[in-house]
Amino acid sequence: MNSQIKVYNQLKTYSRRGAKKNKMHDRKANVATAEAGVDAPTRLLLYKLINNQILEQINGIISTGKEAVILHANSDAGYAENVNEYNRTICSPQLLPKECAIKIFKTTLNGFKQRDRYIKDDYRFKDRFSKQNKRVIINMWAEKEMHNIMRMQRVGINCPDVVVLKKHVLVMSFIGNNHNAAPKLKDARLSSWELSYAYEEIITVMHKLYNQAKLIHADLSEYNILWHDKKCWIIDVAQSVEPEHPSALELLMRDCGNIITFFETRGLPNIYTKEQLFEYITSLNAKTHNAAMLERIHTRGASISVATSPSQDECPEELKNLVYPFDLAWEKSQCERQQREPLKSAESSCLTTADQATSAMGTLNINVPCACQENKS
């Protein structure tokens, strides 16, 4: 009897362990789905886009990255006839592209944890930024990409057209043909003439992006440029910042390095160095930027115009970067103390003389007239 009870208890314990394993397996599968971007709330947003007749069908995944999942979809041909206040798009109904790309920003921050670095110092979003609410950050990230794309379009830079934005789901025009996405610049097979043309076009785009659109891509490389119709198309601009951002010039220098490195590895002759490209775009001195500009970012020393001057010797002493702020503050306090000491000694000497005169007159029994007696007389 005891042996039967023992066997029963062992089987019961084993079944419980199996149930726990199955629960953990299901939980991991659900988390993986959420990390891929297509969780239950996201699927509901996609269903609404279809019910509102903006999209006709969603075909599948084009690519995945650290921050988003890209899906391919077909727009609804009858949308222009059924436009109402609930399903309006950003683009004109007559210009709704036949093929669309759905960018779903991942609802977890495990893949890309530095979003707040690019948002909190942007004047368009810093008043709404809250590090506590992760979902709000992701929605703002999608909105930031939409605004950056629209700003690029206004200055004539090749980029996708924005169709509609729903929370963290951004629908854009599809760069490619017949469900085939345009290749990234790193995968495109370019002739020597096409490679040279792509280089000139990217240089022009970077200059126009900085000086006209007032943006810095902040992650520009051969991975975020598509080659389509013999042209370069710029994508992934959610992290783009304005020139006033504290790390703007640092990010721009990194972009210059990525672009020049790519064309150097492809063997394109007679191209800029990253410092020359930086100076062409910004008209600032790149050598000074490397040494002084990064120091200004971290220590809040001189202004941009001073820190990026051709020579730091031309910079006034009071505006140079504060390498040792504590020592400088200590020396300054000591100088101020030394300047105050002569004044204190003069005041004390005057008081001492007056006291001595009063005591001498008191010894000689000489009455000192007060101010009130003088007034009465």
Our answer to whether residue 219 is catalytic in this structure is: yes
User: Which residue, 195, 194, 307, 193, is CA-closest to 250?
Assistant: 307
- Beta strands, E only, the chain: 55-64, 68-75, 99-105, 162-166, 169-173, 176-177, 180-181, 225-228, 231-234
Q: Using an 8 Å Cβ cutoff, are 198 and 272 in contact? A: no
- Count the alpha carbons within 13 Å of 225 in the hemisphere toward its beta carbon: 24
CB-neighbour burial class of residue 297 (10 A; exposed 0-12, middle 13-18, buried 19+)? middle
> Cα separation of 198 and 40, whole Å?
41
> 69 pairs with which residues across the strands?
64, 104
Q: How far is CA 315 from CA 57, 93, 307, in A?
A: 62, 56, 8
Q: How far is CA 65 from CA 72, 136, 184, 217, 236, in A?
A: 15, 20, 14, 17, 11
- Out of 26, 39, 121, 219, pick the active-site residue: 219
> Cα separation of 207 and 280, whole Å?
8
Burial 246-280 (b: 16+ CB within 10 A, else e): ebbbbbbbbbbbbbbebbeebebeebbebbebbbe
User: Which residue, 236, 220, 241, is CA-closest to 118?
Assistant: 241
Residues annotated catalytic, as ranges: 219
